[in-house]
Amino acid sequence: MERQEEQKQGYSDMSAGEKFPFDFIAEYIFYPIYPVIAQDILERTGIRQGCMVDIGCGGGHLGMALLEQSRLTGIFVDVNDAALDLAQKHADQRGLTDRCRFLQGDVHHLAQLEDGCADLVVSRGSYHIWSDLPKALKEIWRILAPGGRTYVGGGMGSLQLVEQIRPRMQQIRPGWPEDVMAKSGSITDASLEQILRESNIPYQLLHTQDNGRWIIMEKEVNPG
């Protein structure tokens, strides 16, 4: 009931999301997916402590779901100041501020982040709009610590959640989710794998109907 009341308040005050309108969808429609994706990430990577970097974080919903289910600390990165303002507000609301940093930055040039600073790097729903995907993936690889993993891609948690969300989303975007799938599908599995192989990045490519598609880069611990 509490979430339903929040939804009513959100729908009645669309102006609150004018500076960064996608966050309205993330907070009031997509909210069930983030804990599910976070659980998948933690189970598949096995990383539950250290530093997590959320790139293209938007309002920070995925990264904060990870923090709530683990002992990770978080660095939230976005090019958009309004998104970072919202992420900081959400961290305050969820009691996570002391475990978070917020940086304005571009995935192609993460100059504020040192080599090997991140135990886990996540990014959901933004890779298909990166202007230079090979450069972006190499920069993510640079900041990944030995023993670190990534979870970069897109998904909705499960097909059940897609069907749960579909009626509300189609009121706003009648073509959803097929329009999103068409965009991300313009980058094929084969092209992603070619980029990763040519960059000498060890990886797994997870692509299922339930999970979506995720690049799991795997930086092994240095021998000795």
d(CA 105, CA 107): 7
Nearest by Cα to 52 from 127, 138, 145, 128: 145
Per DSSP, helices labelled H in the chain are 2-12, 22-28, 33-45, 61-68, 81-93, 133-143, 159-172, 178-185, 189-198
| pLDDT of 185 | 73
- 3-state helix, strand, coil split of the chain in percent (to 5) is 45, 25, 30
| pLDDT of 191 | 96
pLDDT digits (tens, 9 = 90+) for 42-63: 999 999 999 999 999 999 999 9
| pLDDT of 177 | 79
What are the structure tokens assigned to 84, written together?
Answer: 């970072």
d(CA 130, CA 107): 8
Nearest by Cα to 204 from 186, 221, 218: 218
pLDDT digits (tens, 9 = 90+) for 82-121: 999 999 999 999 999 999 999 999 999 999 999 999 999 9
| pLDDT of 223 | 56
Positive or negative torsion for Cα 88, 93, 94, 99: positive
Quote the pTM value.
Answer: 0.89
With a cut of 50, which residues of the chain have pLDDT below it?
1-17
